[in-house]
Amino acid sequence: MRIIPVLDLKGGQVVRAEQGRRDRYRPIITPLSASAEVVAVAEGLRGLHPFSTFYIADLDAIEGRAPNEDALSRLREMPQPPELWVDAGLASDEGFASALGTPSLCPVLGSESQLDEVLLRRFMSHPDLILSLDFFADGFRGPEALLENPDIWPQRVIVMTLAKVGAASGPDFPRLREIKAKAGNRMVIAAGGVRNEADLLELSSLGIAAALVATSLHDGTLTPAQIEALADKSP
């Protein structure tokens, strides 16, 4: 089970997500870092484990404001620069083409930002593209074609259940089972609700390849020893 830490960016800082209610997100307070500055938080997370990949939700870009380019640049300048999975609300050919040409960056096509399936069809075979199927409290957010046509899914698919994020209520196991059954041999990544080692072991038993995790890393529920043990079991 691969663990990928999440960095939610807003106003140049890392914020703590709360069930997809983005108006409530505030700069993160964590024992892993003295500030909410993105590199400080990333380094704090790497103090738990030498994570090689981070998932970035650029909330400003997703909501139509200026993207957090400076914060992303600072992450790319870290020692042993991480691979960055970035959802920046991209919804244009030019945006995706540029992102796919950026070293160490894997653009995330978030369903909530799409008007139709055209972009996904155009780029679905690119090895760096990641699809995020976004579920809010009121259900799936995005064109139904993205959810109903697994033939156009790329090799990595995130199941993003935003109502579970920061809620300490456990992953959305029924939905993950449903998406995994449709995905075939694709890599399915769980996002939202991971509380502890037991949740990760259950996800692994379902064939889920990775999990995006934040709260349980910051609150110490997942220990360095547990993370290491889970990483040793990853394919």
- Mean pLDDT across the stretch 56-77? 95
Between CA 143 and CA 71 the distance in angstroms is 30
Judge whether residue 212 has pLDDT over 60: yes
CATH code, 165: 3.20.20.70
Asked if residue 38 lies in contact with residue 30, where contact means CB atoms within 8 angstroms, the answer is: no
Taking residue 68's Cβ as centre, other Cβ atoms within 10 Å add up to 25
57: Cα within 13 Å, side-chain hemisphere? 28
Q: pLDDT for 87-143, tens place per residue?
A: 999 999 999 999 999 999 999 999 999 999 999 999 999 999 999 999 998 899 999
Quick one: which of 69, 33, 75, 30 has its CA closest to 55?
75
Q: Under a CB-based contact definition with an 8 Å cutoff, are residues 138 and 118 in contact?
A: no
- Calpha distance 189→2 (Å, rounded): 9
Say what percent of the chain tops pLDDT 70.
93
CA distance 163 to 118: 27
pLDDT in tens, 156-184: 999 999 876 766 678 999 999 999 999 99
Q: By residue range, what is the domain housing residue 178?
A: 2-232
Can you tell me the distance from the alpha carbon of 114 to that of 119, in angstroms, rounded to the nearest whole number? 8
- pTM for this prediction: 0.94
Considering only residues 114 and 235, tell me which one the structure prediction assigns the higher pLDDT.
114
Helix (H) or strand (E) holding 226: helix 224-232
Residue of 22, 74, 76 whose CA lies nearest to 8: 22
Interior angle at CA 49, CA 46 and CA 51, nearest 5: 65
Q: Is 33 exposed, middle or buried (0-12, 13-18, 19+ CB in 10 A)?
A: buried
Beta bridge partners of 37: 13
Residue for token pair 């037991």 = 198
In whole angstroms, what is the distance from residue 22 CA to residue 7 CA?
14
Overall number of domains in the chain: 1
CA distance 117 to 142: 9
Q: Is the dihedral of CA 162, 39, 2, 214 positive or negative?
A: negative
DSSP code of 211?
A: E
Question: Can you read off the two tokens belonging to residue 185?
Answer: 């041999």
